[in-house]
A and B are shown apart, each in its own frame.
Chain A
């Protein structure tokens, strides 16, 4: 076993190599824009140079003169599309701002024209020659800009139902022996997946095929069908591989239906490859947030009062909101809790999911505040968390299905060498560098959604698994193949997995870290259906009671334990008894507590996520602890992060290799979120400024010399059949706070606004 492929501990699967590793490193993996099209035309977008106002006039003469131009589509001649509602209002879209509908401009970089030409180069050249006259109005850019409006999220956002509260915060805070009030701020961020936001559309008669990197092929298929006003069964979305999503491909963006409609209009397949900077405005982003935390504690560190107020920026048209107070009010035991989330409306595009949408900004505030409280109490920050560790959700009183937060802190502290930390700030250094150690908790809700799957078994053990899941780089192919192999008792090499195609049985969005739990539970269930059929065939009908027949060989326990008390399958014998060539089963799985309409919604491309704090009698989260070392150059004030150590517990780890990779990527992104990533906004015109990868900084290898991931054994029998908690979004939460806590330790300076740049350090 190597660092990259950690040996499995109890309740972990094998660290088998990625199913798609060879295809990816040899370039055989085909992404959406690699898909061959027959005689395609190429589209290039023209996007608006103002954030608010209207288009007075287009001058298209020069553009039309470019050789190879086929069509230029603007709001004046665009095909009519039906509206799509926001995903959280029963629709599919990530924004209700529908470009090319009118002359109105609602945000910077809105699509205002599509040039179609014989080549990509001709389309781009013509797009550069499109002249636009605007009547610009003064836009409101962000917090504090004139013209924004602010209101509570509750009541306006379908994503946010309730501000969690319990006890009497005001009274308890007043009476608290130790108090902390602090404000925090996080910036706008963009996902910037490697794969650009491409879309190809090809019609075959009335049938449409869309090649587009998507985290939700059923959502996209149904959404585009709705916008085009056609039957969803005539639309197929294909993307066997997705070049990174991070939430940006979770809901439908306006570009897809437009390209589909134009392809129909010009009667040619169309390929759209937008530029990197267009990606900043034609999809979503993580909104900037502000927070005020109030903590009251007894002198011995027990929390008695906690209040978290958060504000998030959204567009004028949509009340998008992440509302992370649902997590921060439940993380620690505290009898008096209050919270409020509000939304600030500005002239911006609608924000959307970005890896751990609620937890990244909201835990930054809480986990920074806890560190500040530890300083006030003169207490080790790990001990402060131990004192306030919870076994129950403090808001609703429900028990956690499992919670290994302190075990994670202890393991990570040991690996990191936390005991070597001298508690005083400004007390550690090495030559030119001041050294700081910091830590923070991470957590992420355990979510599940209904999923279907089809499995076909051949007599020789060859197995084909079909499920419209998504390989966004997480290792989905691999863990699904492992699940089927284990459950059917066939060699892993014999399992073929087909995903990323909306003609396959529906799976939920690859979001909210629900995929592994949902898709593997469905695959496991369908494999059990096959076992059942085979077992029935080989078992004399009178040898067991019907009831027992149903259950023998089908253990409800996690799949590692399948087989323990079960009868091994003798596949060939069973096939001979059945007298068939293949056994194929289709099944639909849903988690406990899923709403009545779950399966219908699943086929309609609407997700019904359950879990987290919304379970009936319990609350389910994955936990972790992150420790970082920062170094600050005393001359240049450059901030570097040579070591990141995280310990995580997330139920069954299906594959320690792919899980480690997820968590490692998370830690790196967490660091990036604290020190590098921020989309800068020109407040005068509400436009994004650093919309390219030279200026929107993400870490390079030299920035992450040491990353260590520890996975703890944890068994949880209350969450889903596979016993897995989602961990894709666990690694990058809390890191931002750990870094600021370490900066405080190094310098004595508390920084409450991200990202931290060298000019924010005063020595």
Chain B
């Protein structure tokens, strides 16, 4: 029903974020942005009636399936996920506040929009994301929270979420349901770097919904390290989602994803390559941190994120390597 309602409302050539009809899950992003007059859908389609079918939290022998309408708090509290996918449990537990986690869904979470203050304040004309072609107020404004990776000369807004880093690190697939049926694609292809079209944030088309996420295998040696000004209830200044597969002291597989520093959920593949086939030591951890930020570009207030991000990666790798499993 909801899918049909959305599909029916979706007009051709509409960009998703400007689409007349928006799905409503927990509402913790959508309603906020409507109050701020940033998003002004003419119709809201409540997708919560799909919860029965779309709320799976299903860790199994060969992988994990998570429904898009599963609540953040429920997933974070699942003991099997805590054991087999600590990076997922922690990325959710360290996000937002208890009240928000109780409301918010996984699908809504990955679709949350940037916290760039200029984007969220409609009294600023110049925001390419909100007003294509209008310029970017953050570029030379107050940009401490902004991105150093994946930026363009059009937009430097940070992708703010935590959970997406865990998904991209673990090579998750995202299942998309639309009028035409269901398709799957790598989660890494869901978000679009700003480039020349910062208003286009994901590969979803109007009328399409995320229905589930899936992950192959188990990742017990994984961590999510999140750095911020206060101890809780704040978006990351810099975070790292790390997953290692270590056998007999040798790293067989390694995943490094970064949050709080990039315009999209960020996988540091070149940095990962340094780890594969190696034995872990602190020097290696540092080199991986360096490599992860090799292409980073800082601005007036956010350059510190480059040095910080390197240390966060190195420390998170150490923590993952030291885990007793």
Q: Does B227 contact A (CB under 8 A)?
A: yes
Q: Report the stretch among B9-17, B207-215, B231-239 that lies at the interface.
A: B231-239
Q: Is the CB of B308 within 8 A of A758?
A: yes
- Chain B CB within 8 A of A636 CB: yes
How many A-B contacts are there with CB distance less than 8 Å? 67
Structural contact, A695 and B140, CB atoms closer than 8 A: no
Tell me the chain B residues, 9-32 only, with Cβ under 8 Å from chain A. Answer: none
Which residues of chain B have C-beta atoms less than 8 A from A676's C-beta?
229-230
Contact A703 B231 (CB under 8 A): yes
Q: Cβ of B228 and Cβ of A638 under 8 Å apart?
A: yes
Least Cβ–Cβ distance between A757 and chain B, in angstroms? 6
- Chain B residue, CB-CB nearest to A755: B229
Partner of B315, one of A635, A684, A689: A635
Identify which of A128, A636, A637, A702 gathers the most chain B CB atoms within 10 Å of its CB. A636
**Contact A128 B229, beta carbon cutoff 8 Å:** no
Least Cβ distance of A635 to chain B in Å?
A: 4
> Given the known A-B contacts A49-B123, A128-B37, A680-B142, are A759 and B308 also in contact in the complex, defined by CB atoms under 8 Å?
yes
Note all chain A residues with C-beta closer than 8 A to B122. 128
A702 contacts which chain B residues (CB < 8 A)?
A: 230-232
Within 8 Å by CB of B311, from A635, A680, A697, lies: A635
| Chain B residues with CB below 8 A from A681, complex form | 142
Asked whether any CB of chain B lies closer than 8 Å to the CB of A690, the reply is yes
Q: A619 to B230, alpha carbons, bound, how many Å?
A: 40
B37 contact set on A, CB distance < 8 A: 128
Q: Beta-carbon contacts of A406-443 to B below 8 Å, as 1s and 0s?
A: 00000000000000000000000000000000000000
Complex Cα gap A638–B235 (Å): 14
Nearest Cβ distance between residue B65 and chain A, in whole angstroms? 32
In angstroms, Cα B100 to Cα A694, docked, is 13
Q: Are B233 and A638 in contact (CB under 8 A)?
A: no
Q: Write the nearest CB–CB distance from B225 to chain A, whole angstroms.
A: 8
Q: Are B115 and A675 in contact (CB under 8 A)?
A: no
Question: Whole-angstrom distance from the CB of A150 to the nearest CB of chain B?
Answer: 24
Give, as a whole number of angstroms, the nearest-CB distance from A227 to chain B: 28
Q: In whole angstroms, what is the CA distance A86 to B225 when docked?
A: 51
CB distance from A572 to the nearest CB of B (A): 54
Please give, as numbers and ranges, the residues of chain B lying within 8 Å of A635 by CB-CB distance. 311-312, 314-315
Q: Is the CB of B229 within 8 A of A758?
A: yes
Chain B proximity mask over A635-653: 1 for CB below 8 Å, otherwise 0:
1111010000000000000
Q: CA–CA, A702 to B232, complex, Å?
A: 6
Interface size on B, residues (CB 8 A): 31
Q: Mark A683-712, 1 if CB is under 8 A from B, else 0.
A: 010000110001101011111000000000
Give the CA-CA distance A277 to B225 in the complex, in Å: 31
Give chain A nearest CB distance to B282 CB in angstroms.
Answer: 11
Contact between B117 and A636, CB atoms less than 8 A apart: no
Enumerate chain A residues within 8 angstroms of B225, measured Cβ to Cβ.
636
Contacts A635-B315, A684-B140, A758-B237 given: A699-B230 contact, CB under 8 Å? yes
Residues of chain B with a CB closer than 8 A to A759's CB: 304, 308
- CB pair A640–B117 under 8 Å, yes or no, is no
B195 within 8 A of A: no
Question: Inside 8 A of A694's CB, which chain B residues have their CB?
Answer: 115, 234-235
The 8 A CB mask of B110-148 against A (1 = contact, 0 = none) is 000001010001111000000000000000111011000
Question: Does the CB pair B234–A697 fall under 8 Å?
Answer: yes
Distance (whole angstroms) from the CB of A99 to the closest CB of chain B: 16
- Which one of A124, A680, A682 has the highest number of Cβ atoms from chain B below 10 Å of its Cβ? A682
Given A636-B311, A637-B308, A700-B233, is A689 in contact with B117 using a C-beta cutoff of 8 Å? Answer: yes
Separation in Å of the A417 CB from the closest CB of chain B?
Answer: 23
- Distance in angstroms from A756 CB to nearest chain B CB is 10
| Distance, CA A425 to CA B58, complexed state (A) | 52
Closest to A693 in B: B233
User: For B232, what are the chain A residues with a Cβ–Cβ distance below 8 Å?
Assistant: 700-703
**Binary interface encoding of chain A residues 99-132 relative to chain B, with 1 for a CB under 8 A from any of its CBs, else 0:** 0000000000000000000000000100010000
Rounded to whole angstroms, the CA-CA distance of A759 and B302 in the bound complex is 9
Q: Nearest-CB distance from B26 to chain A (Å)?
A: 16
The answer to whether A638 touches B227 (Cβ under 8 A) is yes
Closest to B117 in A: A689
- How far is A136 from B208 in the complex, measured between Cα atoms in Å? 43
Q: Which residues on A sit within 8 Å (CB–CB) of B141?
A: 682, 684, 689
Query: In the complex, A702 Cα to B227 Cα: how many Å?
Result: 14
**Proximity bits, B223-259, A CB within 8 Å = 1, else 0:** 0010111111111011000000000000000000000
Contact between B229 and A697, CB atoms less than 8 A apart: yes
Nearest A residue to B233, CB-CB: A700
| Chain B residue with Cβ nearest A109 | B123
Nearest-neighbor residue (CB-CB) of A690 within chain B: B117
Please indicate the chain B residues that have their CB under 8 angstroms from the CB of A638 in the complex: 227-229
- Could you say which of B117, B237, B238 contacts A695, with CB atoms under 8 Å apart? B117
Tell me the complex Cα distance, A700–B100, Å. Answer: 15
- The answer to whether B231 touches A757 (Cβ under 8 A) is no
Question: Chain B residues with Cβ under 8 A from A701's Cβ?
Answer: 232
* Closest residue on chain B to residue A762 by CB atoms: B307
Nearest Cβ on chain B to A276's Cβ, whole angstroms: 11
| A695 to B229 alpha-carbon distance, docked (Å) | 10
Q: Measured between alpha carbons, how far is A637 from B315 in the docked complex, in Å?
A: 12
Residues on B with C-beta less than 8 A from A690 are 117, 142
Question: Is B229 within 8 A of A757, CB to CB?
Answer: yes
Known: A680-B142, A699-B230. 9 other contacts (CB 8 A): A49-B123, A635-B314, A636-B238, A689-B142, A694-B115, A695-B117, A703-B230, A758-B308, A759-B304
Question: Can you list 19 A-B contacts with CB-CB less than 8 angstroms, sorted by A residue number?
Answer: A124-B35, A128-B122, A635-B311, A635-B314, A636-B238, A636-B312, A638-B228, A640-B231, A676-B229, A681-B142, A682-B142, A684-B141, A690-B117, A695-B145, A697-B230, A697-B234, A757-B229, A758-B237, A759-B304
Please give me the 9 A-B residue pairs with the lowest Cβ-Cβ distance, nearest first. Answer: A759-B304, A49-B123, A702-B231, A635-B315, A702-B232, A636-B227, A689-B142, A128-B37, A703-B231
